[in-house]
Amino acid sequence: MRPAVLCALCLLPSCLALPLPREAGGMSEPQWKQAQDYLKRFYPSDSKTRDADSFKTKLKEMQKFFRLPVTGILNSRTIEIMQKPRCGVPDVAHFSLFPNKPKWTSEVITYRIVSYTPDLPRFRVNQLVAKALAMWSKEIPLSFRRVPRGTADIMIGFARGAHGDYYPFDGPGNILAHAFAPGPDLGGDAHFDEDERWTDGSRIGINFLIAATHELGHSLGLGHSSDPDAVMYPTYSIRDSKNFKLSQDDIEGIQKLYEEAREEQVQEAGAPLLQVHMILRSPLCMLTQRPQVTISYTEQRLSTCRSAQQGTYFGRYHVTGPESCDSNCCDCQKVHVTQHLPIK
């Protein structure tokens, strides 16, 4: 639950508390708030109208995606799905938002592992990432080459909390990782939450091979699948890593993406989209081109300072400042953005 929601609830006298709507289905208020946050994050609406039925509509959409009875009412099974560890990418693809379905046009894609987890040996992380990419390259005419330094098409790493891409991780559980669709700058990058316990085949913790294969599917342009057997299913489940492989649904999806319109160009305009359509607004300090020198954004009102706190972030940019913010740190007036130095 977000702190802002908590503060709002604390300020609301109990005598003024409103009854939960019928759609709450007898759930508790915390569960109701959790459901609202879940649908807002993973089933965002592109409509600015606040329709009283929007929650019910989105809940039905979520229930349909997960092949649950479509009732539009919260129940224990729906809440159970919402509480499972999962990928941070939305489940809904509005393809009309893309000028082209994002995919790589080069036949050789470079990748770099920028940071590692202490949970696994570095050499093993390297092996597991290579194994995950090999599963995808077996099905499409792409090959992958790891580079030790500099900028690669796909930048991979572990981070916790706010890490420079404006989609902070939330600690242990819930969001495990996220990745961006093919494209410039952040496009193709895959980030894993360092607050998780990453494992190699153990039934305790999160199996890194499974998570990496899923996220790199996003890095190649795939969205989520509603097939529970698919690697691209949004929630995490324990699998036998020795026999782990792509499902037929995954194979058909990636082959269709790269066999249909192989001549199309990679999306070039605008900030990278978190696969499949997490953002349309301009993110905090997001740049569409890598700066060669320090760039200052002056008198730019920003909605949040969360990602602009002083420090270095995982990603492609180093952000310092802000120099001037109000008491709530919600209206930054000046932010300096410099190129993030490669970690060697």
As annotated, the active-site residues are: 215
Distance (Å, whole) CA 24 – CA 28:
8
DSSP 27-68: --HHHHHHHHHHHHHHS--S--S--TTHHHHHHHHHHHHTT-
Beta strands in 205-333 (DSSP E): 206-207, 295-298, 311-312, 317-320
Residue holding tokens 């490669």? 342
Distance (Å, whole) CA 216 – CA 138:
14
- 211-214 LR contacts (CB < 8 Å, sep 24+): 211/176, 211/177, 211/236, 212/128, 212/129, 212/132, 212/156, 213/132, 213/135, 213/136, 213/244, 213/246, 214/87, 214/177
Instruction: Give residues with Cβ within 8 angstroms of 317, minimum separation 6.
Output: 164, 285, 287, 291, 337, 338, 339, 340
Q: How many helices (H) and strands (E) does the chain have?
A: 7, 12
Tokens representing 113?
């592992």
CB 110 within 8 A of CB 147: yes
Angstrom distances, CA of residue 225 to CA of 1, 111, 146, 253, 254: 26, 25, 28, 9, 12
